[in-house]
Amino acid sequence: MNLAKEALELHKKLKGKIEIKSKHPVLTKEILSLLYTPGVAEVSREIAKHKEKVYEYTSKWNTVAIVTDGSRVLGLGNIGPEAALPVMEGKAILFKLFGQVDAFPLCLNTQKAEEIVEIIKNISPSFGGINLEDIDSPKCFEIVDRLNGSLDIPVYHDDQHGSGIVVAAGVINSLKVVGKKLSEARVVIAGAGSAGYGTAMMLHAIGIKNILAVDSKGIIHSGRNDLNKYKQKLASISNKGHLEGSLSNALDGADVLIGASGIAGLFKNEMIGKMSDDAIVFALTNPTPEIMPEDAKDAAIIATGRSDYPNQINNVLAFPAVMRGLLDVRAKMVNDEILIASTYALVDIVKDELRMDYVIPLPTDERILPAVSKAVRDAAIKTGVAQVKHK
């Protein structure tokens, strides 16, 4: 199978993977008059008088914008908005398939944070939620900070929030399998971009106290003078021992190694050998991970982002169901309580089935959508960010 050739041929044949269809057959002139002019004018008048009724009379209640500037797409880097479009179309398919959410790609011809923020604010009346995707860091964090809570719809950053949820769930279950305590685990994260930052924040939020984050210049610590404000935040919640040095230095006695580096082949088995007994390794760079599972001989548990190996750590386990829950209660924002609830919902799905090659549900597990969306709804209601109760 020549995957690259077949993908090109299929996309060329389809000319795009998504389309818009009418929910109601348009078989008569009378129906057309109801769906469009003159009948639609009465609907517009009603919404003009009662703005919140837009959720009753339009698709806003179930519509999400997938927003990218094409600056950091998959492992391809800054390929621009046009080249990002097929990826965002694929994301829209996953939203529908796993969350029954209607999502639309919006690939922007700007890479300026201020302009992206303003565009999202201006398009927000059409959408029930925003999914930020494949925007380089630290710009993506600035956009999230500017938007989350300033709109009346949620802004979900999948590279940050989704990665954090799924990795944290996998770590919790992996530590259970090898019989180690969450509060005592030492975790090393290779990479401090969107996924690395989001993962570190989630692990800290669930109670892991001993975290070391490593970027291209070495271990992140508060004494470094080259840290942006987000890496400074990472330094504030990690590396309490003020360790300096390289990734190799960080790995001495570590229990968990998480690869969010974007660098294929970064990890070597001899590096894993420096870790503690029953080492847990998540090599998450796609399509080629930091180490292939067959090469990680000293790891007790190995996970990747690939579907052709056990323990696939993939954001599709989170974003469709999380967004489903956010839309169901018209959540105004995404908060830590929602993210933590989502994480433990994933954890609980396989709590009675755990083994070294099964620490996270499969993406096709039908239990994910009801469990995670309910956890999101409950957390949103409990924390006061839900605008309606789910029926």
Q: Is 351 in the active site?
A: no
Q: Which of 123, 153, 183 is the last residue of a domain?
A: 153
Give the active site residue among 12, 15, 17, 36.
36
Burial class, 274, CB count within 10 angstroms (exposed 0-12 / middle 13-18 / buried 19+): middle
Cα–Cα separations (whole angstroms), residue 391 to 327, 330, 374: 12, 12, 12
pLDDT in tens, the chain (391 residues): 688 899 999 999 999 999 999 999 999 999 999 999 999 999 999 999 999 999 999 999 999 999 999 999 987 889 999 999 999 999 999 999 999 999 999 999 999 999 999 999 999 999 999 999 999 999 999 999 999 889 999 999 999 999 999 999 999 999 999 999 999 999 999 999 999 999 999 999 999 999 999 999 999 999 999 999 999 999 999 999 999 999 999 999 999 999 999 899 999 999 999 999 999 999 999 889 999 999 999 999 999 999 999 999 999 999 999 999 999 999 999 999 999 999 999 999 999 999 999 999 999 999 999 999 999 999 999 999 999 987 6
Cα–Cα separations (whole angstroms), residue 57 to 20, 43, 98, 172, 236: 18, 7, 24, 42, 47
Q: Is 36 in the active site?
A: yes
Looking at the DSSP bridge assignments, the partners of residue 190 are: 214, 259
CATH code of 187's domain: 3.40.50.720
Q: Would 4 be classed as within a structural domain?
A: no
Q: Would 241 be classed as within a structural domain?
A: yes
Domain enclosing residue 31, as ranges: 12-153
> Are 172 and 232 found together in one domain?
yes
> Are 48 and 121 found together in one domain?
yes
Q: Give the tokens for residue 286.
A: 């796609």
pLDDT tens, residue by residue, 99-126: 999 999 999 999 999 999 999 999 999 9
> Are 256 and 181 found together in one domain?
yes
Distance of CA 294 to the CA centre of its chain: 27
Q: Which of 153, 169, 203 is the last residue of a domain?
A: 153
Q: Would 389 be classed as within a structural domain?
A: no
> Are 215 and 322 found together in one domain?
no
Q: Which of 121, 153, 185 is the last residue of a domain?
A: 153
Q: Would 387 be classed as within a structural domain?
A: no
> Are 358 and 290 found together in one domain?
no
> Are 261 and 348 found together in one domain?
no
CATH code of 65's domain: 3.40.50.10380
Q: Would 101 be classed as within a structural domain?
A: yes
CB 87 within 8 A of CB 73: yes
pLDDT tens, residue by residue, 122-137: 999 999 999 999 999 9
Of the candidates 171, 189, 191, the residue with the CA atom closest to the CA atom of residue 181? 171
3-state secondary structure of 376: helix
Tell me the whole-structure pTM to 2 decimals. Answer: 0.95
Report how far residue 309's alpha carbon sits from residue 299's, in angstroms, rounded to the nearest whole number.
Answer: 15
Overall number of domains in the chain = 3
Q: Would 5 be classed as within a structural domain?
A: no
Give the pLDDT of residue 287. 84
Q: Would 80 be classed as within a structural domain?
A: yes
Report how far residue 135's alpha carbon sits from residue 194's, in angstroms, rounded to the nearest whole number.
Answer: 9
> Are 83 and 37 found together in one domain?
yes
> Are 52 and 147 found together in one domain?
yes
> Are 243 and 208 found together in one domain?
yes
Give the active site residue among 60, 91, 180, 332.
91
Give the pLDDT of residue 390. 76
Cα–Cα separations (whole angstroms), residue 29 to 25, 26, 32, 137: 11, 8, 5, 52
> Are 142 and 23 found together in one domain?
yes
> Are 118 and 174 found together in one domain?
no
pLDDT tens, residue by residue, 175-201: 999 999 999 999 999 999 999 999 999
Give the pLDDT of residue 2. 85
Q: Would 7 be classed as within a structural domain?
A: no
> Are 99 and 193 found together in one domain?
no
Of the candidates 358, 344, 274, the residue with the CA atom closest to the CA atom of residue 309? 358
